[in-house]
Structure 1
Amino acid sequence: MESLLAALACHDDTGEVDKHRNTALEAITDTGGQWNGGAFDWASDSDSRLGPVLELVTGGVYIWLPFSQIRSLESPQPTRLTDLLWKPINITLMNGDTHGAWLFTRYSGSESASDALRLCRETAWQDGPGETTVRALGQKVWLTSHGDISLLDMTHCTFHAQENDGA
């Protein structure tokens, strides 16, 4: 995760951004699981600046939580307008600890985009500078080995760490 954070700190130095992000991606252990009944072998945020981490707020603190540290996520379907910004979630960690938290349901920068992106009705991706940057706007989406997961549709997700096959 340190390399993902280092890539963000490089700002406009695309060579350094790509170097740090490639280092981070090479070190990742695939984390498979199931969501709403469908299985996947790996998952990652569709915005490459984040990778395989859950961006959330818990106890008033903003954190990145690697998927590999999560056992399960439980969250209701959105029912209020505020759920389009903050999705309540219960997290069970691999060590058995449970925490209530809030997920960001849309990407940073979406507040000044089109209505469809601001209201999480769609997701759009923009290639960034360098070879490894893809920025997303609109509803948060995870890429998986078996299709995309939009966070507003996710009600139950379980994870299990897998051995890194060197890919």
Structure 2
Amino acid sequence: VSSSPWIDTLAQSLTATAAGRSDEGERLRDEAFEAAGDTPGKIGEHKFNWIADVDSRLGPCFEAIVQGKWGLIPFEAITRIKTEGPKDLRDIVWLPVELSLRSGQSAAAFLPARYPGFETESNQVKLGRATEWREDQGGEHPVGQKLWSTDADLEIGILDFTDLQLA
């Protein structure tokens, strides 16, 4: 996946926030998101003009493990994400997907299905059946199943879709 320059800025933002430099992290995140373009698409019959992770630290990209390596992938680099959905216990932790890239290539990948920090949460959250919000030093962040939001007031649970198409 080719990297957009704003992804590097977002990575710097995450590093700054993790190091306790929340003001710097927020400034870099705002800079990265300003440079990121909107990615329209559809899921089923629902069309949208942009998509983003509900975790404000990630915004217009998602986490993936491709060829054994973790990374952030901008939605703008992808044309399609297909999955059979969760079929066994592993899939509620690491959802297997097929990514179709703008370059014309495709890649098998795993998407983390839950946000970190769920260890002391309810079983619904631990099993990725719910998403809840918690406050910490970096602001309010989700725990439980990963969610993507769109401008069409549509929240997409990562375990609830089978075919996401991006323009």
Give aligned-pair identity as a percent.
Answer: 33
Q: How many residues align?
A: 158
CA RMSD of aligned residues (A): 1.4
Deviation of 1:128 after TM superposition, in Å, equals 4.3
Is 1:56 the counterpart of 2:68 in the alignment? no
What do the CA deviations read for 1:47-81 (whole angstroms, capped 9, x no partner)? 11111112111111111111000011110121211
Deviation of 1:7 after TM superposition, in Å, equals 1.3
- Tell me how far apart the structure 2 counterparts of residues 93 and 128 of structure 1 sit (CA, whole Å): 35
Q: In structure 2, what is the equivalent of residue 22 of structure 1?
A: 30
CA contact (8 A) 1:73 1:158 kept: yes
Is 1:94 the counterpart of 2:102 in the alignment? yes
- Tell me how far apart the structure 2 counterparts of residues 60 and 19 of structure 1 sit (CA, whole Å): 31
User: If the length of structure 2 is used for normalisation, what is the TM-score?
Assistant: 0.89
Structure with higher RCO (Cα < 8 A, 6+ apart): 1
SS in 2 for 1:112: coil
User: If the length of structure 1 is used for normalisation, what is the TM-score?
Assistant: 0.89
What do the CA deviations read for 1:93-114 (whole angstroms, capped 9, x no partner)? 0111011111111011123322
Q: In structure 2, what is the equivalent of residue 148 of structure 1?
A: 155
Q: In structure 1, what is the equivalent of residue 133 of structure 2?
A: 125
Is 1:4 the counterpart of 2:23 in the alignment? no
CA contact (8 A) 2:33 2:60 kept: no
- Tell me how far apart the structure 1 counterparts of residues 11 and 135 of structure 2 sit (CA, whole Å): 19
SS in 1 for 2:97: strand
CA contact (8 A) 2:134 2:142 kept: yes
Is 1:71 the counterpart of 2:63 in the alignment? no
